[in-house]
Chains A and B, each alone.
Chain A
Amino acid sequence: MVHAAVAADANGSPITPVNIQHRGGPVNPSAATLAARFGDAILRTEITWGETTVFVRADALHPIVRWLHEEPAERYDYLVDITAVEYRDAARPIEVVWHLRALQHRQFLRLKVELSKRARLVVASIVDIYSGADWLERECFDMFGIHFDGHPDLRRILMWESYREGFPLRKDFPLRGRFSRAEQLKQALAADPEARYSMEELSIADAFDSLPADMKRRLAVERADPDGREMGE
């Protein structure tokens, strides 16, 4: 089965697409099968620049992705990317975006879940389906503060663990950061570069007792206040 939306020559071999329409055009057939199978969990379908986007209900995301991954006729076996989009229009919800690809069928599908900013930003993790989702979800959490329910190790990944300024890619986060330069410098100078092991790592060597005193204090504070990093919600 060769996807109609992927440009192909007479033999079905893919070719470089030309003259792609802004709206409309060939739709990914998976959108119709999804709508037939999951009914009202599929909110709407958009086609922009030749790519099909399916908006799904947040609570149905995990079964939908699992079905897309396992159904032989779909076989979306490759997770390209997980990210999120927040619009400049503050009234618009945050969109979490999954880019899926079926290597065999040469299909590309974009799934979106809209999350209201008024509620806790949470969607299901799909690490159990695609192991490659691990760091992508962590980055999305780190940058947008979106929680992936069921992720085994949802920690910050690009920012450091004790980062307290919020979530950098949110639109209410100023380009220069939340804290002043003086405050950022003060925190950087006060930090002990040695104190960067997580509790999980230290459990390896039973090394907690032999730590420097300030690192013990830091870890004790983090254990007492595990939600401290969630500032900005």
Chain B
Amino acid sequence: MTTTRRTIEVALGTTGVDAQGMPLRAPLTVQGGRALVAEAPVLAHEPEMNADHMLINIGPQHPATHGVLRLVLELDGETVVRCIPHIGYLHCGFEKIGEYRQYNQIIPWTDREDYLNSPGNNVAFVLGAERLFGVGMTERCTVLRVILMELSRIISHVVWLGTTSVDLGAFTPFLWLYQERENVYNLLEGWVGARLTTTATRVGGMAADLPDGWLDGLRAFLKGFPKTLDESVRMLETNAIWAGRTVGLGAMSAAEAVNAGLSGPMLRASGVAYDVRKDFPYLDYETYDFDVVIGSQGDVYDRFLVRVEEMRQSVRILEQALQRLPGGPVNIDDPRLILPPKRKATSEMESMIHHFKLVMEGPRPPAGECYVPVESPKGEKGYYMVSDGTSKPVRWRIRPPSFVNLSAIPKMVEGHLLSDVIAINASIDIVMGEIDR
């Protein structure tokens, strides 16, 4: 466990309150690369502001809401008094559709809910399904899935950092980081043939083993990415504008964050060292050497630091996974789940019947239920699956981390300025596909 290093000590919004109880925002100066806050201005007299509160509608189509999110804000001057979020514009009933699909047929839907983290969702889903079927996975498959999960974490955080910096006025990190994201997508394309909607896993194994030379591509990425990340972070970390627009905003205390059910970087930025990879390990994460990064203030700036450090930890995990990747099969040897080789299915009667029955009827887990959480880039994601013994789940429930994280937004933005709503909303790292499902 490590704590984020805060090289900037500014406390905007906490330099005092004015006569109306509203936080005072002090002007920011920069000396020698460090941002400093001037003394809070003293108001000689209270301004006469008895105007009515104003109603402002942000979204649903607004570039800074990261999707079709709508926020109705009640403003007193420029200060948010109340925030009422509206969601559901992307609702397409994934959970309902899942009840009409076999387990392997649901995997493509997991691509499309949190679409920045598709490979991670694929892995999360099959972990739950394999628990329900009572099967394990091969050693090679375990390590390949760790590689997928961590690559997926990196691309998700990269998009977060890039888009958030654009929201707050910095364009260069966005371009640099999206180049790295492109590199990961090229890797994924070489492996599973798709870039965004990967459908990389199957119950009991993977869609495909690695192609020749893929690991060299990953090594090259791991060599280049930390440099890009460091450069991008250097542009932001001690940047006065970045600090001024993130420090002290949307802070959640540890107790509030736990009570609100926040998870992932949102929870860890508030100082709670809860990481599913450490506390409820899966895929042998306990055997990897990595740190859980926690923040101290729980503000937007801390969430930025936590996510940046998580990317560095992901690189560490990927390097260890590269070293230990064993040979052997990627799919388990279980004819209940794994299709026979295509060549056999077209030449042998038994294999053809087997192939036909598996595709048309689908594998059947015993009646039961399970909830297997994983640490997705957004937080604790889990698929709660209930089976009644047929080939289709009775209930397939996504525990959406962004949904729960976003539900705390009224508490985070109230009392802040309208322009800070954009920063706070961006810091939650929402993906509406996952929230609306």
Contacts and interface: CB of A to CB of B under 8 A. Distances in A.
Interface of A: 6, 9, 13-16, 18-20, 22-23, 48-51, 53, 77-81, 83, 85-89, 97, 99, 103, 106, 108, 110, 130-136, 139, 143, 156-160, 168-169, 173, 175, 196-198, 200-202, 204-207
B384 A132 contact: no
Contact of A157 (B87, B93, B368): B87
B368 A49 contact: yes
A13 to B, nearest CB: 7
B55 A136 contact: no
B111 to A, nearest CB: 20
Contacts of A158: 87-88, 91, 436-437
A130 B259 contact: yes
A20 B91 contact: no
B404 A77 contact: no
B259 A49 contact: no
Nearest to B259: A131
Given A18-B136, A110-B371, A158-B88, 7 more contacts: A15-B281, A22-B368, A83-B384, A83-B395, A88-B390, A130-B261, A204-B55
B220 interface: no
Contacts of B258: 77-78, 103
A21 B134 CA distance: 8
Given A89-B388, A99-B384, A132-B408, A201 B72 contact: yes
B68 to A, nearest CB: 12
A77 B373 CA distance: 17
Contacts of A206: 52
30 contacts: A13-B286, A14-B280, A14-B286, A15-B281, A16-B281, A51-B369, A51-B370, A51-B371, A78-B258, A80-B261, A80-B382, A81-B382, A85-B369, A85-B395, A87-B394, A99-B384, A130-B259, A131-B259, A131-B408, A131-B411, A132-B259, A132-B408, A136-B261, A136-B407, A168-B93, A175-B100, A204-B53, A204-B55, A204-B74, A206-B52
B152 to A, nearest CB: 19
B370 A79 contact: no
Contacts of B283: 16
A130 to B, nearest CB: 6
B404 A136 contact: yes
B140 interface: no
Contacts of A136: 261, 404, 407
B240 to A, nearest CB: 34
Contacts of B136: 18-19
A75 to B, nearest CB: 11
Interface of B: 52-55, 72, 74, 82, 84, 86-88, 91, 93, 95-97, 100, 131-132, 134, 136, 256, 258-262, 272, 274, 278-286, 366, 368-371, 373, 380, 382, 384, 386, 388, 390, 394-395, 397, 399, 403-404, 406-408, 411, 436-437
Nearest to B285: A16
B294 to A, nearest CB: 13
B269 to A, nearest CB: 16
Q: Is the interface of B mostly helix, strand, loop or mixed?
A: mixed
A103 B272 CA distance: 9
Nearest to A130: B259
A120 to B, nearest CB: 22
A155 B285 CA distance: 40
Contact of A201 (B84, B373, B399): B84
B404 A135 contact: yes
Contact of B399 (A78, A81, A88, A156): A81
A6 B54 CA distance: 52
Given A15-B286, A48-B370, A87 B388 contact: yes
A204 B82 contact: yes
Given A18-B136, A88-B394, A131 B52 contact: no
Nearest to B75: A204
A160 B97 CA distance: 19
B425 to A, nearest CB: 16
A20 B371 CA distance: 13
Contact of B371 (A9, A87, A99, A132): A99
A105 to B, nearest CB: 10
Instruction: Sort A-B residue pairs by CB-CB distance and give the 5 closest, nearest first.
Output: A132-B261, A135-B407, A158-B88, A205-B55, A49-B370
Contacts of A78: 258, 261, 274
Nearest to B281: A16
A216 to B, nearest CB: 16
A160 B282 CA distance: 38
Given A83-B384, A169-B96, A175-B100, A20 B88 contact: no
Contact of A175 (B84, B96, B437): B96
A81 B91 CA distance: 19
Contacts of B262: 132
Contacts of A88: 388, 390, 394
Interface centre among B82, B261, B281, B386 (most CB of A within 10 A): B261
Given A13-B286, A16-B283, A204-B74, A160 B84 contact: no
Nearest to B100: A175
Contacts of A19: 136
Contacts of A23: 368
A159 B88 contact: yes
B369 A103 contact: no
